[in-house]
Structure 1
Amino acid sequence: MRGVDLSPLSATPDTREQLTELLMQTVAGGGSVGFMHPLMLEAATDFWAGALAAAERGERIILGGWDGPQLIGTVTLILNTPPNQPHRAEIAKMMTHPRWRGRGVATMLLQAAEAQAVLHGRTMLVLDTASDGGAAGLYERAGYTFAGELPDYALKPYGGLTGTRLYWKRIGDEAGKN
């Protein structure tokens, strides 16, 4: 996709503000990313402050997609795993600005996260997505294997339970070993 720049995010005031706005828009739009509606500004700001601090410590990489100065999407690669799982990383908090959905931004971010995982010596990625309204199709098109579904896993942003679908993918040197 032309015109979109991908990069790891840092804790600049503008980036924190745009991440906060994107999270609030995602939750208001019904996106199941761990928060309930209405999401208060302070809670969204605190989440990103903690996540960006974890990124500064090397525990995760937060990638952003930019259209000029506007943040149009983000995904997090969680690297902080238990000692017996140094080969694994987790994909989390995939969000695309509503005006950019369906234009390939999430696919680009996912590919960039996979590339970062390989650079960090990871050979297995895992993720979960809501059963109702989640991004299962995106992950399946990207080669993730459906591992199973947990019913009534979490509340949707406006209430009511939804399951979660679990996925995995081998990457790097292990990519051909399913």
Structure 2
Amino acid sequence: MIKVDARGLDCPQPVIKTKDALSEGEKVETLVDNETACKNLQKLGKKMDCEVDVLEVDDDFQLTFIPEEGVVTSSTTSEELNDNGDEEGKVYFISSDVLGDGEKELGEILIKGFTYTLTEIAPRPKAIVFMNDGVKLPTLNDEVIENLKILEEAGVEIISCGTCLDYYDLKDELAVGEVSNMYTIVETLNNNPVVTF
């Protein structure tokens, strides 16, 4: 049995670590410290055709994943993650340095989790376009920058608006991706399915 201690880890790491462990084809026991993570892991188990037993231990939740006999619970391979294939990927248009309209601190946590999750799923986006406050992410946010570097190495275009970088005096701070212009940005958005944040 593979044991995963996911206590204290931010979303989506408990799910990703458990999913990776399940790819070994063995029983997995995951320990988490909050009910939300427990529920997310139960959904993962259902999606991956596993029986999931939940036991409350002190203030923690212990989940045991038992793969259904004959069902392969494989994780996405690195080749699948790195290959967008012939299918046109989505373009993510990010115009803020936080995710959502609520509390700024929560939005900062969410945008880090979002960019991290993009490194762990398939298919990957075709491009990520940063505009307005969004350009602060590939320039000032170290955790997001690391995630974006992983995506760029996998072939995802990381595009930042040059006018926005100039406005915030951040052009020299760009740590990943390329500086672009409005024509190229509009063309990229016009020719691909777009998800806006």
In the superposition, the TM-score normalised over structure 1's length comes to 0.26
Instruction: Report the structure, 1 or 2, having the larger strand content.
Output: 1
Higher relative contact order (CA 8 A, sep 6+): 1
Instruction: Report the structure, 1 or 2, having the larger helix content.
Output: 2
In the superposition, the TM-score normalised over structure 2's length comes to 0.24
Computing the radius of gyration from Cα coordinates, the structure with the larger value is 2
